[in-house]
Structure 1
Amino acid sequence: MASQSGGLPVHQAIARMLLANDVHTVFGLMGDANMFMIDYFIRECGGTFVAAAHEAGAATMALGFAASSGRIGVCSVTHGPAMVNTITAMAHGVKASLPMVVICGDTDTEDRYHTQNIAQREFAIAAGAGFEQLRSPRTVAEDVATAIRRAVAERRPIALNVPLEFDWRDADGFEPVKVKFPEARALVSSSDDIDNAVGIIAAAKRPIVVAGRGATSAEARNSILKLAERIEAPLATTLKGKDLFQGEAFNLGIFGTVSSPAAVDAIVESDCILAFGSSLNTKTVSAGSFLKGKRSIQVNLEPAEIAKNFRADVGLVGDPAQVADLIVHWLDEAEIPPSGFRSEELRDRLAQPEPLNPMDNGDGTVDYMRSLVELDRILPANRLIVTDVGRFMLKVWTTVHVDHPSAFVSTSDFGSIGLGMSHAIGAAFGAPDRPAVLFCGDGGFMHGGLAEFNTAVRHNADVIVVVCNDGCYGAEQVKFHYKNMDFGTIRFDWPDFVSTAVALGGEGVRVQSEADWSIAEQAIRARTKPLLIDVRFNPTRLPLF
């Protein structure tokens, strides 16, 4: 349908801009300020629209899509309360550095007393997101392109505000524009910084090489492996670089507050940290204690990440692969011997498994760590792992593995529970060849998962939900424990999650004894719908943290 003047209406121009920029999936909820754009995007542009149960879920799905696909996530909502409902997701997206455009309808400018009228810009800015106003029907292409460019360049959500009165106006002279981004391939050439870095590495007796999410490409991984082998340094990753070196010799696993005891010992012994593609945040360096008494070198393609959290002795702005190759070149030129830190004694320490308890607790619950080991075994090998927030997540990070960091999505950046289900749905659309496995607590599932489980059913998303069910809010239970207080006020008699999952259109099984794991394994293999696995734990027998 044409605009009132016979040309292309604004809502159609917006849809065509999305298509021109390879956006084929939009998450959202329809309302009077966005329904015509979504309808056109589906019918005429061949796009996929994932209709969430709530705007908070829709925006979080777009973040999950961005996290698993490496592309921009797009969410569309109507005005007023719908836009406000996306704020938690926007704040999380800012902290997680995820590119997302939230296309927000806005109340007709002339309708001052409209019930849903609110200052939408202020809400977006308060969340830390960027804000772009669709200025006029003539500037649709430029304004949408600017929102997309900013989301990618700034690595955060951008709210694009579209006044309702523009919807059916003629986008005069509209031509779709594809946003182009330059390839970032900075290389550190000869400089004092590279000389200092090589000097620090040459003097190190116990160096450790750490890789973050910014150094997870195949090229970067290979170059970092060569460097670590050249200097005989153990390997580690940040949380978001999880499992990049899985299966490699002298792999310490995650470097940070969740490091294994053997890894912590090696980190404490080390005298040099060489970090690639990491911002070295406070959790990675254990509030600075893991850098104390050590020389440090930070390599990152993003200049803003250098010294963002802790100041390294040397900061190198450059492509991680090329910088690693350059360091190896100069070490070879100077005939620097390896450190010798990769000893047989260290290898044996790292290979020593942590002792496990029996599976059955004898009270209708199962052992937490044994359960995670079993889940690591029976879940699909090509899985995506998504973790909600809660006490349960820390051991999931270190025990349940993925084949590449891009297959791991943490929702902990803002510390909000309940974002996992929506992230998992978005991640399933972002990487449709992989099943998305969500680990969440019982409180987190009730907080946000319950509302969107049926969304996964309606859209046939390949999602497996593991509910770590201890019948309480676990993090609060820990704090009550430390204060010797009764934690009965944070215990809950939740509904039966298995029958709830079935009622919502999915499948469900319960695990509360060792014999139940074979049933769960069969359910995983035979699933035809979103599957919920309710694993029962005793809250007093879980690791405190």
Structure 2
Amino acid sequence: MNGAQHILDAFHRHDIRTVFGYPGGCIMPLYDALVDDVGTEHVLCRHEQGCALAADGFARASGQLGVCIATSGPGATNLITGVANAHRDSIPMLVITGQVPSGLIGTDAFQETDVLGMTLGIVKHSYLVDSADDLPTIMEEAIQLARSGRPGPVWVDIPKDILLTETLAEAASQATPDQTDDPDLAEALAMLRAARKPLLYSGGGVSLAHAETSFRAFAEVSALPSVVTLKGIGNNGKHSAHHLGMLGMHGSRAANRAVDECDLLLIIGARLDDRATGKLDAFAPNARIIHIDADAAEINKLRTADLAIRGDLTNILASLTEELATTPLAISDWQHQCRTWNTTGGFSTADNEEPLAPITGPAFVRQLSRITPDNTVIACDVGQHQMWVAQHYQFDHPRHHLSSGGLGTMGFGLPAAIGAQFADRKGTVINVAGDGSFMMNAQELATIRRYDLPVKMIILDNQCLGMVRQQQELFYNNRESQIDLDDNPDFVAMARAFDIPALHIERTDQIRRGIETILAYDGPMLLHVAIAREENVWPIVKPGASNRDMIDESQRTAKPNKEHVA
């Protein structure tokens, strides 16, 4: 087999059946091999960034490895944002690019870029293959690295001549991932039993470790009041009695207050991101810290733990659950206090709007949550709509909530929804976008139409960059600068140009009909939702401030600015 055929052989051995790519000169030998391949479904996206983000969405929704492919030069550079997105959120991804022939590397050849150098900071590992004999083993190693430990993207850059070179080399067997000893949990249990106000704080590491079931069992048996990060949404399910919602910059007052007053913070699979903690030295000021994580690099990185436990989350949580099942924690007063805070300081669940009133983002998302099936996958873009979904949509599983956390990539949602739909061709997948984010990768409407994917698209359109406008209002003296999008296209006509039906709504009494219409349609459909320009996400913490200093609508002093600063 030549190098290209060895790549496909690796796909088959590892049951990789779906890949996302865009062809070009230096990757052409791989595309030639695909002509005769049986078993690999190649999805042609309309931009390389779309390929990477679709592979990302596929991996998040399925828990499997996402794969994206592109050619050298601009093909590779167009992948970079999507790969960085996967890296920041620890998403398992294999990235394969063609490179100019070996003899031309370093000569500024046509479509040559230093992929290895450009991507060092956004991958778990990377390779520039210099021998066809090495390629089978590199593919084995790359796939294992992307999936094992703390997952992440691994990039394999392959010169065109190596893709064409025949070799009899076979893949060398790879060592199994590092195994950690079972930790002694006696100290953790003693700290939990001694605490009067213990709080459970979980993040995206729970689903990355495939530990959702053991986490939920632990949360139920321990009955700890709990908070989650953006990536941890869904960890507790939608019916948890002790869950306080998301913490942080746009978290609930109840969640942030519980963190502020707890005396023990049990952190599971979270990395203390600045959007979650706010001002770090004011975060959980009265709490001892137990930090449980699979990645040693995250422990003590930002906050020194009183007890650090590294290991397999499933096994650790199962052991803790077994111990607590026999002797429950005596924290009834604290549980009652947290429930009281949640009643008065949690996210609203009531709409109470007049039928003919304009649509508000939170009210729309709450109705969306009530109407959609429990197994619906929501792929968000980035902005105000992303936070409204995080606050008001009730997720039953973390893999149902696809959101760009660490990088905050506008344009993520539509290709991520495509990837999620390929992970489950019959599942309900909805892209919730803002008008600004939707335009970032709108070309992927062609991909949806090409494969007749039943993705539902919802655009919450306020004709501006809403999150930027909100921060300019609150923190920049209401001086608006370069945020107007009032020259947006007619999104309904735009969708129809791709042969995708679309519907426009603008009043509260149209919300249910609009949502039910797109869900009932047998195929892709777009719902365009007009919302007010001046609507903000509440509450909010000023960047760099303490989470206890949350701002809500009652503290809004600036009036919407009708004059725009150039």
- Which residue of the partner structure matches residue 214 of structure 1? 205
Matched, 1:157 2:153: yes
1:496 shift after superposition: 0.7
Aligned-partner residue type, residue 276 of structure 1: I
Matched residue, 1:247: 239
Structure 2 contact 27–99 (Cα < 8 Å) conserved: no
Q: Output the CA distance in 2 between the equivalents of 1:441 and 1:516.
A: 19
Q: How many angstroms apart in 2 are the aligned matches of 1:252 and 1:89?
A: 32
Deviation of residue 37 (structure 1)? 1.7
Cα separation, partners in 2 of 1:53 and 1:542, compared to 1, 3 Å: same
Which residue, out of 380, 398, 407, partners 1:405? 398
Deviation string for 1:305-348 (max 9, x for gaps)? 32233222111123334434544666789x78612235545435
Offset of residue 471 of structure 1: 0.1
2:182 to 173, 181, 187: 187
Partner of 1:110: 103
- Deviations, residues 224-282 of structure 1 (Å, cap 9, x unaligned): 135523xxx31333322212222121211223333322333333332111122222333
CA distance in 2, matches of 1:143, 1:525: 44
Tell me, in whole angstroms, the C-alpha distance in 2 between the residues paired with 1:537 and 1:239: 24
Change (3 A) 1:486 1:348: closer
Q: Which runs of 5+ in 1 are unaligned?
A: 1-7
Asked if 2 retains the 8 angstrom alpha-carbon contact of 1:64 and 1:422, the reply is yes
> Partners of 1:79 and 1:336 in 2: how far apart?
58
What residue number does 1:83 align with? 76
CA–CA distance in structure 2, aligned partners of residues 178 and 452 of structure 1 = 39
Which TM-score applies when normalising by structure 2? 0.86
Question: Once the 2 structures are TM-superposed, how far is the Cα of residue 416 of structure 1 from its aligned partner?
Answer: 2.5
Q: Conserved in 1, the CA contact under 8 Å of 2:123 and 2:154?
A: no
User: What is the alpha-carbon distance in structure 2 between the residues aligned to residue 197 and residue 396 of structure 1?
Assistant: 34
Q: Does 1:139 align with 2:131?
A: no
Counterpart-to-counterpart distance in 2, 1:293 and 1:22: 49
Q: For residues 101 and 141 of structure 1, what CA distance do their matches in structure 2 show? A: 14
Amino acid paired to 1:494? N
Q: Which of 213, 228, 238 is 2:229 aligned to?
A: 238
Please name the residue that 2:45 is paired with.
Answer: 52
Among candidates 497, 511, 516, match of residue 517 of structure 1:
511
Task: Work out the CA distance in 2 between the residues paired with 1:489 and 1:251.
Answer: 39
Aligned CA distance change for structure 1 residues 114 and 325 (closer, same or farther; 3 Å):
closer
Q: What is the Cα deviation at residue 366 of structure 1?
A: 1.1
- Secondary structure (helix, strand or coil) at the match of 1:540 reads coil
Per-residue deviation at 1:536? 0.8
Closer/same/farther in 2, CA of residues 542 and 122 from structure 1, 3 Å limit: same
Partner of 1:169: 165
Report the counterpart of residue 269 of structure 1 in structure 2: 261
- Distance between the aligned counterparts of 2:235 and 2:440, measured in 1? 32
Q: Which residue of 1 aligns with 2:191?
A: 200
Whichever residue aligns with residue 226 of structure 2, its letter is: L
2:274 is the alignment partner of 1:279:
no
Percent identical residues: 25
Cα separation, partners in 2 of 1:160 and 1:331, compared to 1, 3 Å: closer
Is contact 1:210-1:276 (8 Å) kept?
Answer: yes
1:425-460 Cα distance to aligned partner (Å, 9 max, x none) = 112222434222112110111122x11122122122
Which of 438, 451, 454 lines up with 2:446 in the alignment? Answer: 454
**Mapped pair 1:323 → 2:316:** yes
Q: Find 1:120's aligned residue among 115, 124, 128.
A: 115
CA contact (8 A) 1:507 1:527 kept: no
Residues 1-80 of structure 1 aligned to structure 2 (within 5 Å): 8-41=1-34, 43-80=36-73
Aligned partners of 1:386 and 1:411 also within 8 Å: no
The residue that corresponds to 1:421 in the other structure is 414
**What residue ranges of structure 2 are gaps of 5+ in the alignment?**
541-566
1:411 and 1:428 mapped to 2: Cα distance?
17
Taking the aligned partners of 2:25 and 2:114, their CA distance within structure 1 comes to 18
Q: Give RMSD over aligned pairs.
A: 2.7
User: Match of 1:146, SS?
Assistant: helix
Matches of 1:185 and 1:460 in 2, distance apart? 45
The letter of the residue matching 1:244 is N
| CA 430–307 in structure 1, closer or farther in 2 if over 3 Å, else same | farther
Q: Residues 498 and 481 (structure 1 numbering): CA distance in 2 closer, same or farther, change over 3 Å?
A: same
Q: How far apart in 2 are the matches of 1:197 and 1:455?
A: 50
Q: How many residues align?
A: 526
